[in-house]
Structure 1
Amino acid sequence: MKPIIIRTIAELRQEISAYRRRSSYDQKVGFVPTMGYLHDGHASLLRKSVSDNGLTVLSIFVNPIQFGPGEDLDKYPRDEERDIRVATEAGTDIVFLPSVQEMYPQSRVTTVTVAEVTDSLCGASRPGHFDGVATVVAKLFNIVQPDRAYFGMKDAQQVAVVTRMVQDLNLPVEIVPCPILREKDGLALSSRNVYLGAEERTQALQLSKSLSQVEEWIMEGMTATQIIARLKAEIEFFPLADIDYVDILTYPELTPPNGELPLKEIDVSLLVAVAVRYGKTRLIDNKLLNPSEVGADLCFAK
């Protein structure tokens, strides 16, 4: 059955309130916030929400305040008809498609900032990005008031930021992190993959190939410093790669481990994260070690 299409905050609140009034207490509301141009990774989040909850809400909103100068806001891929088809196939109940004017009707003077966990990785290379993310997610949580919200671990830093925001602001939302989905050749699913030329895409496969070797290097006794250097060398062997960052941090705190101590001697969850440009396309990928400790095994594509 085709989902209900809603474009205003007032109508969405009315629809969700009506659902809660007619449903039993254990019928929860699941929420999947996205910027659209949905792929199988998004679909897996929707399917998980549908299986967990009585009502699933999908939001599609290309949030302008999380894009910096010179980034791809105007070129970000959009295809509303296709997105609604993906949402329908996944069993979504409501698709929320607000305009920028609906979300930001006046000059914005309130911003949500989550410190510390935004100091590294994409937070360091894209100043202000996570202020935009935290602000729009806080607004969406306030609008939808979901019981559970589903996020893909491809952007593990975003999951850490949103989780910390929910904890610090005492928001009654359970954050459900879901594993990275990949193409058959290993490339992490991303809406930005459509930008890649043939050779760029071929060379980008080195990201997942390099990350897949990290556990072996840890067992060999390598330190974080050594593994970072090894990853950079393997990625840069392919000439189109322009590295933004390669880093290893504790998760979800996102603090550096002892760089000179063999990682196999460090008993904490670790995030190995990379961001690399191929031409004009910036890709991120990561590998989470000890994922059960941070909940990344909670949901799987069906």
Structure 2
Amino acid sequence: MTLFQSAIWNPRGQKAPVIPHTSIQIFREVPEFRTWRRRQLLDHRSVGLVPTMGALHEGHLSLIRMAAAENHRVVVSIYVNPTQFGVHEDLGSYPKTWKKDCEMLRDLDKEIAGDGGNLGTVAAVFAPTTEVMYPSGRPSQDVDGKGSFVTITPVGEVLEGASRPTFFRGVATVCMKLFNIVTPEKVYFGQKDIQQTVVVKKLVKDFCMNTDVVIGKTQREPDGLALSSRNVFLGTRRRKVATTLSKTLRVAETAYSRGRRSRDEILGPATELAKLLLMEQHQMPPEDRVKFEVDYVSLADPDTMEELEEVDESRGAILSGAVKMLPVESPQAGEDLGLSGGPPVRLIDNIILKPVG
């Protein structure tokens, strides 16, 4: 058993283990974590929470840096939440990279400690099991499934919620659980999952929760692709075409910056570009092309995610979209298809159209 594997175990009654070569404690059980949290409260130490499903990347690290600048103690949760996966979505294929995640947190801890401008540092990882998070048993992933759920509507029913009808129910439920367990002064989410941030803000507001929701900018690859844990599934061929969505949204953003305000004026050029890029792929031979499906391109209200026919300059809007990258055709010998053999990959992205004046 390696040091990183031994760091997983947290028997009741024993001191919480730590990530090797750090002081970052690892908690698997709620009572032990709450004992730790109580000490922070008595010591007047603020706590910031960065919720993740693991498979950490620079987007997560940027949120942890934000949290360390604003809080005495940062808690990173690592938990692949089953209730936000649909019945036909492959929960089992979601990347689980515990050892690498620990190494990244170790290195980030050193970086943050060496920066004198931070208020705090990474103090704890909360990595529960599903039995801990769902003590009555994991609820059904069916749309009409039974269980203890939190549902945020109507914002959770449009766009991503329309394509994945149980997704935001699962997100809101696990966030409610995490917020109740950690009781953070602030929680940190990335702008890439923009609809999720709107749902979480509504959850916090409507349930009178005493935490601030802080949104960090989307982190991108040099070519514009938004960082995501799911990018590891793309492989070489699809990775080259994965910028289709970001290119499409930037065209719409340009129209807005040039004074266009109607839905047709903003989204029209964007949808035409998406059609052109798909047509180019279809003209290639099967061993070279990449097929994809555009789920939606949206121009929505920044608070409700309802579709807009005209942008109110005083409020701005949210441009967002989703594309499904389909498995490659005619894979070549030795071709990098991505993790798990390159299953379908759903990519999301967004751009905030800022108010004018």
TM-score (norm 1): 0.90
Question: Structure 1 residues 291, 138: closer, same or farther in 2, change over 3 A?
Answer: farther
List alignment gaps of at least 5 residues for structure 2.
1-21, 110-121, 140-146, 282-290, 327-343
Question: Structure 1 residues 114, 39: closer, same or farther in 2, change over 3 A?
Answer: same
Matches within 5 A, 1:1-302: 1-21=22-42, 23-24=43-44, 27-91=45-109, 92-107=122-137, 108=139, 109-218=147-256, 219-221=258-260, 223-236=262-275, 237-238=277-278, 239=281, 240-257=291-308, 259=309, 261=310, 263=311, 266-279=313-326, 280-290=344-354
Structure number with the bigger relative contact order (C-alpha 8 A, sep ≥ 6) is 1
1: CA distance, partners of 2:170 / 2:149:
8
Q: Which whole-Å deviations, capped at 9, do the CAs of 1:168-205 have from their partners, x for residues lacking one?
A: 00000100011100011111000000000222111111
Q: Is the 8 A contact 1:59 1:95 kept in 2?
A: yes
1:220 CA drift (Å): 5.0
1: CA distance, partners of 2:355 / 2:68:
23
1: CA distance, partners of 2:229 / 2:61:
12
1: CA distance, partners of 2:53 / 2:176:
15
Out of 195-204 and 215-224, give the one that drifted further. 215-224
1: CA distance, partners of 2:34 / 2:91:
28
Q: Is the 8 A contact 1:269 1:290 kept in 2?
A: yes
Q: Which has the larger radius of gyration?
A: 2
Secondary structure at 1:118 match in 2: helix
1:282 CA drift (Å): 0.4
How many residue pairs get aligned? The number is 286
2: CA distance, partners of 1:252 / 1:80:
35
Question: Structure 1 residues 241, 11: closer, same or farther in 2, change over 3 A?
Answer: same
List alignment gaps of at least 5 residues for structure 1.
294-302
1: CA distance, partners of 2:100 / 2:235:
22
Q: Is the 8 A contact 1:39 1:191 kept in 2?
A: yes
C-alpha RMSD of the superposition: 1.8
Q: Is the 8 A contact 1:2 1:88 kept in 2?
A: no
Q: Percent identity?
A: 38
2: CA distance, partners of 1:179 / 1:17:
31
1:80 CA drift (Å): 0.4
Out of 231-240 and 71-80, give the one that drifted further. 231-240
1: CA distance, partners of 2:78 / 2:102:
10
1:56 CA drift (Å): 0.5
Q: Is the 8 A contact 2:225 2:243 kept in 1?
A: yes
1: CA distance, partners of 2:41 / 2:106:
22
TM-score (norm 2): 0.76
